[in-house]
């Protein structure tokens, strides 16, 4: 499969402002040093190393080049600012977003970015989203829970209201799972916990009427639709049989089909399932760098043997349209 361009809409960068704040913490999540290397510990027994292209913009751009990417949309690593005190998080989020804006301003032909929001202060988060979008960021990345609070709590509706009013995408990304009692061994948090967490968060939002309130809201469910494409039939049947979502104007299955997703799966059949369920116009190239290598996305996508126009759409045209990027 030969493509003319690639836009990576799911790639992470840890700003200096957030890294420094995490170094000052004495509890999870925090940055710790082990044998001369720094790690970001975000859940019991789970941490990732701060590799150069995670924290150095020049290294990040070099890896983007190495991956054959033309453009990338940065998002801040988990856990964002969600675990900071409510009186500190808004200022820290603003500092993080200003740093992202500076990265974009230095390389406008290469980079865009999602805003980081202080969701533990919902009104401040909505205000920061409006400010950040107004000065050039491309929507926001939210996490599947807010330091343990479910994302569908009524307090958080103001943030989704703001995203709908601004008509910008929201990337729904995993974080430290709420349901983590039995997955704190064998690295099961990133292996399966993340996908379970984002799937539950998405269903709770839909059952709470998110799409009834905002039928055109652009939610990007990370990691090839998480578990949604594979469980769609069960969600529809069991949910309908048991009365989940009763009274919604937009039935849950229809709401699920309004989601967008990325190509991060490392498994061709899973990617095919997401494309079949959502439609190729709602699937966007993503690499999850620096946690995954770009080939983990490219390989399964190429194995599908997509028609050239579909491959072009997934590799760059869908993102260019959704994020209103220059042609």
Q: Answer yes or no: are the C-beta atoms of 144 and 151 closer than 8 Å.
A: yes
Predicted local distance difference test score (pLDDT) of residue 327: 64
Distance in angstroms (rounded) separating the CA atoms of residues 151 and 302: 35
The string of pLDDT tens digits covering residues 146-188 is: 999 999 999 999 999 999 999 999 999 999 888 767 777 776 7
Residue 20 lies in a domain: no
Kindly list the strands in the beta sheet with 115-116, ordered across the sheet, starting from the edge strand earlier in the chain: 115-116, 140-143, 170-173, 219-221, 260-262, 283-284
CA-atom Rg of the chain in angstroms: 19
Alpha helices, H only, the chain: 16-23, 52-55, 57-66, 89-106, 122-134, 157-166, 188, 194-207, 210-213, 228-242, 252-256, 268-278, 295-303, 308-312, 318-322
Range of the domain at 249: 7-15+53-322
Cis status of the peptide bond prior to 246, with omega within 30 of 0: no
CATH of the domain at 86: 3.20.20.140
Predicted local distance difference test score (pLDDT) of residue 180: 64
Predicted local distance difference test score (pLDDT) of residue 74: 98
Distance in angstroms (rounded) separating the CA atoms of residues 184 and 273: 29
Residue 57 lies in a domain: yes
The number of domains in the chain is: 1
The structure tokens listed for 253 are 């299955």
The structure tokens listed for 147 are 């330091």
Residue 278 lies in a domain: yes
Residue 35 lies in a domain: no
Predicted local distance difference test score (pLDDT) of residue 189: 76
**Segments in the chain below pLDDT 70:** 1-2, 180, 187, 327
Predicted local distance difference test score (pLDDT) of residue 308: 95
Predicted local distance difference test score (pLDDT) of residue 111: 98
The pair phi, psi for residue 117, each rounded to 5°, is -120, 145
Residue 34 lies in a domain: no
Predicted local distance difference test score (pLDDT) of residue 114: 98
Residue 44 lies in a domain: no
Residue 71 lies in a domain: yes
Residue 41 lies in a domain: no
User: What global pTM score does this model have?
Assistant: 0.95
């Amino acid at each position: 499969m030969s493509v003319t361009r690639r836009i990576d809409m799911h790639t992470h960068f840890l700003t200096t402002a957030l890294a420094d704040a995490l170094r000052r913490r004495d509890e999870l999540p925090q940055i710790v040093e082990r044998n001369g290397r720094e790690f970001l510990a975000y859940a019991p027994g789970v941490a990732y190393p701060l590799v150069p292209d995670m924290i150095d913009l020049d290294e990040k751009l070099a890896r983007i080049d190495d991956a054959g990417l033309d453009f990338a949309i940065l998002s801040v690593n988990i856990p964002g600012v969600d675990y900071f005190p409510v009186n500190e998080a808004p200022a820290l989020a603003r500092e993080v977003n200003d740093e992202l804006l500076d990265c974009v301003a230095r390389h406008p032909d290469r980079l865009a970015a999602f805003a980081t929001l202080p969701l533990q202060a919902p009104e401040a988060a909505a205000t920061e989203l409006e400010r950040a979008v107004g000065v050039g960021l491309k929507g926001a990345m939210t996490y599947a829970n807010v330091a343990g609070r479910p994302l569908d709590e009524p307090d958080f509706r103001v943030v989704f209201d703001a995203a709908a009013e601004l008509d910008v995408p929201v990337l729904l990304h995993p974080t430290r799972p709420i349901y983590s009692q039995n997955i704190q061994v064998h690295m099961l948090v990133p292996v399966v916990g993340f996908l379970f967490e984002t799937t539950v968060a998405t269903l709770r939002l839909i059952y709470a009427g998110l799409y009834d309130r905002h039928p055109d809201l652009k939610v990007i469910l990370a990691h090839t639709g998480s578990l949604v494409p594979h469980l769609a039939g069960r969600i529809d049947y069991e949910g309908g049989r048991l009365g989940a979502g009763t009274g919604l104007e937009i039935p849950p299955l229809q709401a699920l089909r309004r989601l967008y997703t990325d190509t991060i799966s490392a498994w061709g059949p899973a990617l095919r399932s997401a494309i079949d369920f959502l439609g190729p116009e709602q699937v966007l190239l993503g690499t999850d760098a620096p946690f995954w290598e770009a080939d983990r996305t490219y390989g399964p996508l190429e194995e599908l043997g997509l028609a050239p126009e579909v491959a072009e759409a997934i590799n760059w045209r869908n993102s260019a349209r959704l994020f209103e990027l220059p042609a």
